[in-house]
Structure 1
Amino acid sequence: MPLRFTIEERFEASPEDVFRLATDIDAFGDWMPNFVRVEKLTEGVAGKGAMWRETRKMFGKESTEEFEVTAAEPGKSLDLFIDGKKGTTGRGEYRFRYVFEPQGAGTLLKMDGEIAGMGWFMETLGRLFIGSFKKAVHGDLKAMKTHLERRRVG
């Protein structure tokens, strides 16, 4: 049974601006917590079919995962897939859907996450740690928000 969670964050920026930062692979190091490096596996902007390998420091060690954009509608939605077998975790499938909703002069970013294919034991254990994972992912959205809003003021 997959683990599912939802996170929301409000931005004082347009859905197009939030989407642009979320898909600007070259700018990840400007705002992403624990960022080490990113390697583009495809050329061009992060639209459908775009792939990259992202490395961050997690629990004191480098962790690398391979991301693929499975759907993208600029300023509206972004779907990401991570095949854990190709990364440091060595297992699992991670799906993230970001929806960029206009809200007044800003944006409400909703992110639905799903983790599957971890095996019975890891999925059972994962239910104990989903709160920590959710908090870390929410930290990413908050860091992106701070960077975007600081950039707009500065």
Structure 2
Amino acid sequence: MSIAFEVKRNFQVSKEETYAGLLDLDSARQWMQGLVGIERMDEGPLHEGSEWKETRKMFGKKASEYFEVVELKEPDKIVLRCDGTKGTTGKGEFVFTYLLTSTGDQTEVTLLGEIRGLTGISKWLGKLMVGSFKKACSKDMDSLKEYLEKKKVTSH
């Protein structure tokens, strides 16, 4: 059984700009809180199968997790998977599905987060931690929204 959460935000930028912003790992340094670095496992534009290691400073310590692009449907959907067994977490699988819908120059981003593969005590802790995951994802979405909206204002 998985643990799920949802985060929704309205961006004052086009769906195409929002989609590109979600996949722009190079600009992540400018908005992602606590980011230490991103190490790509391949080159060029992100595509299904692309992988990277993301290191952040969390609770005063460096934590690294490995991400993979599972699905891309430009400009409507992005699915990312984090294999917790390879990173600092040490267990579980985290799936982040971004759904983008737009009206004019505004884009609604719905993030559906899912934590799978936790058992025993880690499953119980996962249920307690889901609020922290949701909060962290909300902060990232707010930071990306602010970054993209500022970028739009300065480029016009």
Query: Which TM-score tier does this pair reach, normalised by the shorter chain?
Result: over 0.9
Q: For residue 85 of structure 2, give the secondary structure of its aligned residue in structure 1.
A: helix
8 Å Cα contact 2:81-2:96 kept in structure 1: yes
Task: Give, in angstroms, the shift of residue 6 of structure 1.
Answer: 0.8
Return the alpha-carbon distance in structure 2 between the equivalents of residues 92 and 130 of structure 1.
13
1:39-50 equivalent positions in 2, closer than 5 A: 39-50=39-50
Structure 2 gaps of 5+ residues are none
1:1-154 equivalent positions in 2, closer than 5 A: 1-154=1-154
Return the alpha-carbon distance in structure 1 between the equivalents of residues 110 and 103 of structure 2.
12
Task: Give, in angstroms, the shift of residue 132 of structure 1.
Answer: 1.8
Return the alpha-carbon distance in structure 1 between the equivalents of residues 60 and 122 of structure 2.
21
What is the percentage of aligned positions where both structures have the same residue? 38
Return the alpha-carbon distance in structure 1 between the equivalents of residues 120 and 102 of structure 2.
39
Task: Give, in angstroms, the shift of residue 130 of structure 1.
Answer: 1.2
Structure 1 stretch displaced more, 118-127 or 139-148: 118-127
Normalising by structure 1, report the TM-score. Answer: 0.96
Task: Give, in angstroms, the shift of residue 45 of structure 1.
Answer: 1.0
Q: For residue 85 of structure 1, give the secondary structure of its aligned residue in structure 2.
A: coil
Task: Give, in angstroms, the shift of residue 120 of structure 1.
Answer: 2.0
Q: Deviations over 1:86-137 (max 9, x none)?
A: 1111111011100111133210000101101122211112212211210111
Task: Give, in angstroms, the shift of residue 32 of structure 1.
Answer: 0.5
Return the alpha-carbon distance in structure 2 between the equivalents of residues 130 and 28 of structure 1.
23
Return the alpha-carbon distance in structure 2 between the equivalents of residues 94 and 29 of structure 1.
22
Task: Give, in angstroms, the shift of residue 70 of structure 1.
Answer: 0.5
Structure 1 gaps of 5+ residues are none
Return the alpha-carbon distance in structure 2 between the equivalents of residues 103 and 60 of structure 1.
40
Return the alpha-carbon distance in structure 2 between the equivalents of residues 103 and 31 of structure 1.
25
Q: Deviations over 1:18-68 (max 9, x none)?
A: 010110111110111111000000111112111111000111100101100
Q: For residue 21 of structure 1, give the secondary structure of its aligned residue in structure 2.
A: helix
